[in-house]
Amino acid sequence: MKTEQIGDVLVIELPAHLDAVGIAATESQFSEAVARHKGKVLTDMSQVSFVASLALRMLLTSLKTVQPLGGDVRLCNLQPPIAEIFRKSRFDTLFKIYPDREAALASYQDLDA
């Protein structure tokens, strides 16, 4: 997992496999970074090729953590099979999803205007 601060947005790039092993290695680091930042979070999923239900739970938990604080978790760069999982699970109704990092960062800038 890589993190980067771009303006007031915390960008988190998730690893390729978000199965039980991948989540075990990532979840606490991801959750701590989101909770510590308490604001705008962009999750870049360009490397993600597999996502288990535990990964969906991790993302939803992080969203519920920052929303009461005025923050948000947005997603970008979902590969087509991953986007399909989000559609079928209706997680696409819970998260704002963007085709690329630039569009997602621009959406946060629109809030500040």
What would the DSSP string read from start to end of 23-50?
A: HHHHHHHHHHHHHHH-SEEEEE-TT--E
Average pLDDT over residues 3-27: 93
Question: What per-residue confidence (pLDDT) applies to 54?
Answer: 93
The answer on pLDDT for 113 being more than 70 is no
For residue range 42-74, what is the model confidence (pLDDT) as tens digits? 999 999 999 999 999 999 999 999 999 889 999
Q: How much is the pLDDT for 112?
A: 57
Instruction: Please tell me whether the overall predicted TM-score, pTM, comes out greater than 0.85 for this model.
Output: yes
Query: Taking all residues of the chain, what is their mean pLDDT, rounded to a whole number?
Result: 93
67, 68, 79, 86, 104 from 99: Cα distances, Å: 22, 26, 9, 14, 8
CATH of 2-112, one of 1.10.1270.20, 3.30.750.24, 3.20.20.70, 3.40.50.300: 3.30.750.24
Do 32 and 66 form a contact (C-beta atoms < 8 A)?
A: no
Sequence-ordered strand ranges (E) for the chain: 2-6, 9-13, 17-18, 40-44, 50-51, 72-76, 96-98
Q: Tell me how crowded residue 89 is: count the other CB atoms within 10 A of its CB.
A: 13
Q: What is the per-residue pLDDT for 37?
A: 92
SS3 71: coil
Q: Give me the pLDDT at residue 4, please.
A: 95
